[in-house]
Amino acid sequence: MNLEHWRTWVDEIEAAPLDALLGKASPGVRATLEGSLEQREITPDQGLGLYTSKDDDLRATVKCADLARAADVGNEVTYVVNRNINFTNICFVGCKFCAFSRGPREPDSYFLSLDQVAQKATQAWELGAREVCIQGGLPRDLPPFYYRDILRAVKRAVPGMHCHAFSPMEIVYGVERTGMALADYLEMLKDNGLDTLPGTAAEILDDDVRNVPDLPLPSI
């Protein structure tokens, strides 16, 4: 589908009355969409039905999704000015696909101090950033509370900076290094400045696992 066809398709849905599109949808999809418009939570099976919808069902789904978006946020588009701070590229994991990690004795390996991380956050703030994404490799013998200390350093230097930090692998590593329970560890990070967690490093890299269930992509 070329861009012009896509635009025409979307414009037609936007111009069509909701009742007309719902009236052409299958009974199951129509019931799901009507419930969602009334703020009723849908079940996983209903969600799967919307995800795999086609033709008239897909048009009705797109229409309802657009109405829900408009009700929640209107037509205002927002963005965040962000700086990535990768505090170290030293990592012992050895993922075969990774071009970032280095061994501790490689000439281009590095490990930023807390002051250096704070300095980068300050520079980002001065340039207009309001969020830093902080991640790194997994170096052996990392000080047990280093992730906490990074957050403290950033918040001390720039109290208003949003800290979007630490991959799931880093969280697990922090739990292992400190011996804390996961819930307690996350609570500690939150108390010391963690605002949100990125979803990176949670990829499914095994083809057999990733393809189950093998869901078809929505088609137009």
pLDDT above 60 (res 79): yes
pLDDT in tens, 113-132: 999 999 999 999 999 999 99
* Residue 77 pLDDT class (50, 70, 90 cuts): confident
Mean pLDDT of 141-147: 96
Is the pLDDT score of 215 beyond 70?
no
Q: Is 0.75 surpassed by the pTM of this model?
A: no
Neighbours of 31 (CB within 10 A): 15
Cα–Cα distances (Å) from 109 to 10, 12, 100, 105, in that order, read 49, 54, 10, 7
For 173-204, b/e burial (b = at least 16 CB within 10 A) is: bbbebbebeeeebbebbeebbbeebeeebeee
71-90: average pLDDT: 92
Distances (CA, A) of 182 to 23, 172, 178, 186, 191: 49, 8, 10, 6, 14
What is the C-alpha separation between 51 and 90, in angstroms, rounded?
A: 40
pLDDT confidence of residue 133:
97
Cα 188 to chain centroid, rounded: 21
Looking at residue 210, its pLDDT comes to 61
The pLDDT value recorded for residue 218 is 43
The pLDDT tens digits for 167-210 are 988 999 999 999 999 999 999 999 999 999 997 765 666 667 66
Q: What is the mean pLDDT of residues 152-163?
A: 98
Work out the angle at residue 130's Cα, subtended by the Cα atoms of residues 69 and 153, and round it to the nearest 5 degrees.
135
Kindly tell me the burial class for residue 215, based on how many C-beta atoms sit within 10 Å of its own C-beta (0-12, 13-18, 19 or more).
exposed
Q: Is 85 helix (H, G, I), strand (E, B) or coil?
A: strand
Please write the tens of the pLDDT for every residue from 42-74.
999 999 999 999 999 999 999 999 999 998 889
User: Which of helix, strand or coil describes residue 102?
Assistant: strand
pLDDT on residue 219 = 45
Strands across the sheet containing 162-165: 82-86, 131-135, 162-165
Residue 91: CB atoms within 10 Å: 20
The DSSP call for residue 111 is B
Which letter does DSSP use for residue 193 in this model?
T
- Identify the weakest region by mean pLDDT among 73-77, 142-146, 199-203: 199-203
